Amino acid sequence: MAYLRLLLLPFSVLYGFAVWVRNRCYDWGWFRSRSFNHPVIVVGNLAVGGTGKSPMTEYLLRLLHEHYTVATLSRGYGRKTRGFFEVSPLDTAADCGDEPLQFKRKFPHVTVTVGEDRVNGVRRLIQSGKEVVVLDDAFQHRALKPGLAILLFDYQRMKRPKWLLPAGDYRDWFSERRRADVMIVTKMPGTATEQDKADIRRMLRSKHRDIPVLFSKIGYGAIVPLFPGEEREGITLTAQVSVLLVTGIANPAPLRGYLATRAGDVVQLSYPDHHQYTKADIRNMINRFEAIANPHKLIITTEKDAQRLLMPELSGALVTLPIYVVPIHPLFDGKEEEFFRQLVLTYCARVLGS
């Protein structure tokens, strides 16, 4: 596979040139980049998928909702609608995308919106009285100039070549990290050493300015039933339980590794990121689950996948199954978390004059 991707390098050169020209047009003022007099925070990455943008966005929503009226704006990847609108808990993933729906169901008092035009979306949110806007996956949206840019990198990818699409995984030049205000390396394994962190800091160092580099791990919450029911509450994973792991995310490896340390065995059913489940997928899931001989068995999925599995045309066939969801969140060490919290809160207070 690696050799086949080498054949795509000429296309990466063309793609990279187009991206470079576009970035310079914004840097040199030939294209307009709009800023706002309210706090606008962007969470993004340079590579495609799998760096933990959604958990980081949720972290910010928890932090900011205690102090400000906050809204989040996403493109709504995978939705079948267009334009700007506010997400309701009763919407489906087809209406607004899985991640915005996840945000709304977890934070019902936060305004969650989707829209392709980020500048228009932010303008409308500020006009409606929102004090802080958090944008999920908008680092490459150069028409909008954020006040605070949070750039994420997956630890496992740090030592891989930084090739651009389609030969590599990067959708923007690695050098564009210089536009970030803070960089966070996510999914740090427990085996990572201080030397590993020092090596990464050197790799990420920008010659243009000193940008803080922080590190976070994946924190896993207790599993919760996809379909509420008293008989399903309080279930825990043990070595006697077998798990069918169903995912449609960019990188399910960390979750599988986590479950492997807590369950007896893990069978994986993996689909591409943002996979739109079909009735055939549900039949396959049921067949795979029934094929597990252990009577003590569960189906485990992610919060993002849960939004797509709850589509009305699919959920009826799943409601009797023991399906559970694993919540995740970023974990910093004490000093780095305090630094990050103060960075975000100080920025918002400064812009709002509070």
SS3 assignment for 142-201? CCECCCEEEEEEEHHHCCCCCCECCCCCECCCHHHHHHCCEEEEECCCCCCCHHHHHHHH
Q: What is the pTM of this model?
A: 0.94
* Mean of per-residue pLDDT scores for the chain: 94
At 260-280, the pLDDT tens digits run 999 999 999 999 999 999 999
Decide if pLDDT at 5 tops 90: no
Please tell me the predicted confidence (pLDDT) of residue 35: 96
pLDDT digits (tens, 9 = 90+) for 119-158: 999 999 999 999 999 999 999 999 999 999 999 999 999 9
* For the chain, percent of residues with pLDDT exceeding 90: 89
The C-alpha angle 147, 131, 144, rounded to 5 degrees, equals: 35
pLDDT higher than 90, residue 354: no
Please name the amino acid found at residue 290: E
pLDDT tens track for 294-316 = 999 999 999 999 999 999 999 99
Cα separation, 27 vs 24, in Å, equals 5
pLDDT at 88: 96
Q: Is the pLDDT of residue 2 over 90?
A: no
Q: pLDDT band at 230, cuts 50/70/90? A: low
User: Which two structure tokens, joined as six digits, stand for 109?
Assistant: 């008092």
- Look at residue 6 in the predicted model and tell me its pLDDT: 81
State the amino acid at position 329 in one-letter form: H
